[in-house]
Structure 1
């Protein structure tokens, strides 16, 4: 019986001490557009949700770990109340959400790091 308790204690201690691989998602809004990363607990994915019924697309501008100096853009041209998800790649290290405004400045969030 002592051995079972000792093994159970060791398993519990390991479970507490070893970090999990799931990442906490962070969402930001620029106008009516929301960008979220990591998406579905995958640090290499980002999503863009268009919650603005203005006929203009939304986008996320982001940088990946393997190309930190390169701004990438994920567009959502699918319309109001739709979401698009990026292809998988290296970890997304910073991003912002923007609501595109034809003939005016875009409404963008600040840069954030997940």
Structure 2
């Protein structure tokens, strides 16, 4: 399953014509202890680069942007009860939502893991 990254520190795992989205380990480290996550509604249509979710930590609130265009098919209900999952497992159990892939061509503008690592190293 290919994984892509955005310059806003979201990750996206692609499986067929659907994808799973979350924030990177780097992003959760910058935010600190996460206390609340506001997820999109199932059925919502998200635009590439548009607001998708909100993460609140003890330091700040931060928007999460959609890496691609598509429709939300599932949200991670566990985050409502346990937002700290984003801290303990940001790139596994702390995923935010699943969505359809509206335009597979949009994936071409995202970074692979090596490019993202280099991007973060240069911040």
TM-score by length of 1: 0.35
Larger CA Rg, structure 1 vs 2: 1
TM-score by length of 2: 0.33
